[in-house]
Amino acid sequence: MLFNYVAEPNSNLLCCICRMPFIEPATTRTCSHTFCRDCIVEAIGHARQCPVDRSPLSAEDLVPANSIIRSLVDELIVECIHRASGCPHTCQRQLLTAHIMDVCPFSSVACPKGECDQILARIDAKSHRCPHTRVSCELCGVKMQLDDLKNHIRECTDSIVTCEYCSFELSRSELPAHNTSCPEAIIPCPQGSNGCGWTGPRTTLASLHTPFCPYEAIKGFFAANATKLERITEENLMLRHKVDILESHLQNTKRELQSAKTALGPWFRPDGVYAYSSSRPSTSSDLAPDLQPASASTSAGRFSSGSDAAALLSPFDHAPLQDALAAYFPSNDPAYPALARRQTLPSGWDPAFGGGANNNNARASTQHTQTVAPLNLSTTLEGALVGVRESVVALSGAVDSLGRRNDIALTNEALRLNEEVMSLRANMHGLRMQVHTIMMDRNAQVTGRGGENPNNNIDGAWPMAMHPPRFYNYNPQAAGAPSITKL
C-alpha cells in the first residue's frame, strides 16, 4: 500500500533505498543501519552488502528495528487512499487499514445481499438494488430476477389490455380469442387472396360487402383453378427432380468418359473406326524359333522389325488404308501363310497375287498373323502393353537361342571339315611316302652308275628323306599316317 503522508516526514525516518518512511523497518545487526524490510531484502538479493557502508550483509543479520522507530513511522499521519474519490479522512498510518476495511465509504465491498458478484463502493451498497434479487410479478405471481421484471410486465398474460376496436377491457391471454370474434375488428374480404381489396368491420362484411363482391360470385372457378394449378406445380416439381437426376447422370458419364480418355491416351479414337482393331497387325512377334529355318527367320525378322517400327511410331497412320482395304484381304485366312512366305521375295514380287493393292506393311501384318497371337483387345491397355512386352522378351530370347544354335551348327561343321582336312593331309602324306620309296629305289639304281647331280631337284629334297624313321619320331601327328596310307 502506498501511503500519502500529510506532513513531510522527518528525514531520519526515510529508507535510503525507497526514499519513503520505513515500512516494517529492519535494522542490520552488523552496522545498525535501518531500512524497510522489503527494500533491504531485495538489495541483499542484488549485492550481499549494506547499501550504506558496503559492509558484508546477509538476511540473517536483519532484526526488527527498535520499537521507538517503529512507533514513529506507524504514527505518521496519512491520508485515506480513497482521497481522490472523496474521502477526506486522515489518521495514523497504523489505523488506515482498519478505516478502509470497515468505515471508508469509498472502499470496495461485495454485493451485501450476496446474490451477485458485483464489486461496488460501500457508499453505493446501501442503495444497491441487486439485479439478481428475486421478485414476483404482482399480476401473475411468477418469481423472477429484478432485471427481467421490466420485460415481463410488458407481456404478462394477466395484465389488463383494451381491445383496439371495441374498447372492451380484458386480460392479455384472452385477447387472441376476442380478436377472432370482435364485431368491430377490421377484417379483409375472404376473397382477398383472389384479388378483392375490401377491408372493413366484421359486422358489415356479410350484410354490405359479400352480396356485391365480384370475386365472391366466381369463387367456384377460383377453387377449380387453384386445384389445377396445384397439380401442375406438383408435376413440374417432379419433372424438375427428374431432370436433376438425369443431369447428374450425364455429368457422371462425362466424367467417366473423360477418365477413360485419359487412361487410353493415344489409343482413344473418337470417330469409331474400331473395326480396324480386330484386323490390326499385332505389334508383338512371337516367332517359334525351333520350327523356322535360319534363313527364313532372319528375313522375316528383318521384315517384321520394319513394320513393327512403323506401327509403334504411328499406330493409326496406316489405319484408314488398312481399313479400306480390309475387305479385299482374308484377315486371318489359314491359306495366307503361303502368301506370307512369298513375301521374302524382293519388291518386284507378282502384284496380281495380292490384288495389286496391298503394300509391304499389309504383307508384314499377315506374316505375323501366322506366328503371332492376335492382340487381345478385351484386356486393359496396361494388360495389352504387358503382353506386348512379354512377346518382345520372348522374341529376344528366340533370337538369342537361334544365334546359339547357329553357332553350334557352325562349330560342328567346322569340326567335321577339320577332320576331313586332316584325313586328306594324312592321305597326302602316305602318297608322298610311297612316291619317296619309289624315288629311293630309282635313285639307288641311278647312283649305282654314279649319276650325282647337285642341280637336281630331287637331290635337293634328298637329305630330308635320308632318315625316314627319325622323321616319323619327330612328328607324332603323322604317326597315324602310315596306317592311313595303307588304307
1 scored as a contact of other proteins (CB under 8 A): no
From 40-48, 64-72, 96-104, 238-246, give the range in contact with other proteins by CB under 8 A. Answer: 40-48
The conformational region for residue 62 under phi > 0 = left, psi -120 to 50 = alpha, else beta, is beta
Q: How many residues does the chain have?
A: 487
Q: Please, which residue, 15 or 372, has the CB nearer to other proteins?
A: 15
Shortest Å distance, C-beta 12 to other proteins: 14
Residue closer to other proteins by CB (options 45, 265) is 45
**Number of Cβ atoms within 10 Å of the Cβ of 374:** 15
Q: Is 13 in the site for other proteins (CB under 8 A)?
A: no
Residue 32, CB half-sphere, CA atoms under 13 Å: how many?
Answer: 2
Q: Is 46 in the site for other proteins (CB under 8 A)?
A: yes
33 or 70: whose CB is closer to other proteins?
Answer: 33
CA distance linking residue 2 with residue 20, whole number of Å: 10
Applying CB under 8 A, which of residues 13, 20, 31, 140 lies at the interface with other proteins?
20
Check binding of 25 to other proteins (CB under 8 A). no
By CB under 8 A, name the one of 52, 120, 205, 310 that touches other proteins. 52
Q: Which stretch binds other proteins (CB under 8 A): 48-56, 250-258, 390-398, 468-476?
A: 48-56
Cell triple for 247: 443431369
Window contacting other proteins (CB under 8 A); options: 46-54, 251-259, 261-269, 389-397: 46-54
| Out of 10, 41, 42, 118, the residue judged to bind other proteins by CB under 8 A | 42
Asked whether position 31 contacts other proteins by CB under 8 A, the answer is no
Residue 16 interacts with other proteins (CB under 8 A)? yes
| Residue 54 beta carbon to other proteins: minimum distance, rounded to whole angstroms | 6
Q: How many residues belong to the site for other proteins (CB under 8 A)? A: 17
18 interacts with other proteins by CB under 8 A: yes
Indicate the residue among 54 and 404 with the shorter CB distance to other proteins. 54
Q: Which residue has 512403323 as its cell numbers?
A: 310
Q: What is the per-residue burial (b if ≥16 Cβ within 10 Å, else e) of 295-333?
A: eebeebbebbeebbebbeeebeebbeebbebeeebeeee
One-character DSSP codes across 203-235: HHIIIIIGGG-HHHHTHHHHHHHHHHHHHHHHH
Pick one of 24, 30, 49, 135: the residue that binds other proteins (CB under 8 A).
49
Segment contacting other proteins by CB under 8 A, of 14-22, 151-159, 170-178, 253-261: 14-22
Q: Which residue, 69 or 187, has its beta carbon nearer to other proteins? A: 69
Query: Quick one: how many helices (H) and strands (E) in the chain?
Result: 18, 13
Q: How far is the CB of 5 from other proteins (least distance, A)?
A: 11
Binding window for other proteins (CB under 8 A); candidates: 43-51, 304-312, 331-339, 445-453: 43-51
Q: Which of 10, 12, 32, 54 binds other proteins (CB under 8 A)?
A: 54
Q: For residue 478, state whether it binds other proteins (rule: CB under 8 A).
A: no
Q: Taking contact as CB under 8 A, which single stretch among the options 47-55, 116-124, 363-371, 448-456 is the one that binds other proteins?
A: 47-55
Nearer to other proteins, 51 or 301 (CB): 51
3-state SS of 400-465 is: HHHHHHHHHHHHHHHHHHHHHHHHHHHHHHHHHHHHHHHHHHHHHHHHCCCCCCCCCHHHHHHHHH
- We find the least distance from the C-beta atom of residue 19 to other proteins, in angstroms, to be 4
Q: Which is nearer to other proteins, 2 or 444 (CB)?
A: 2
- How far apart (Å, rounded) are the C-alpha atoms in residues 471 and 485? 16
Task: Check if the beta carbon of residue 94 is closer than 8 Å to that of residue 74.
Answer: yes
Cell numbers for 229: 394449378
Q: Which residues contact 240 (CB under 8 A, 6 or more apart)?
A: none
**43 touches other proteins by CB under 8 A:** yes
Counting contacts by CB under 8 A, is residue 470 touching other proteins? no
User: Considering beta carbons, is residue 55 or 199 the nearer one to other proteins?
Assistant: 55
39 belongs to the binding site for other proteins (CB under 8 A): yes
Smallest separation (angstroms) from other proteins to the CB of 152? 47
Q: Which three cell numbers stand for residue 271?
A: 470417330
* Interface of this chain with other proteins, residues 146 to 165, rule: CB under 8 A: none
Query: If 0-12 CB within 10 Å is exposed, 13-18 middle and 19+ buried, where does residue 161 land?
Result: middle
Residue 122, helix vs strand vs coil: helix
30 touching other proteins, by CB under 8 A: no
**3 CB-contact burial (10 Å; exposed 0-12 / middle 13-18 / buried 19+):** middle
If the CB atoms of residues 51 and 354 are measured against other proteins, the closer one turns out to be 51
- Beta carbons of 428 and 484 less than 8 angstroms apart: no
Helices (H), 273-380: 275-279, 294-313, 319-325, 336-342, 360-371
CA distances (Å), origin 418, targets 16, 119, 236, 296: 127, 126, 100, 28
Q: Is 2 in the site for other proteins (CB under 8 A)?
A: yes
Provide the binding-site residues for other proteins, judged by CB under 8 A: 2, 16-20, 39, 42-43, 45-47, 49-52, 54
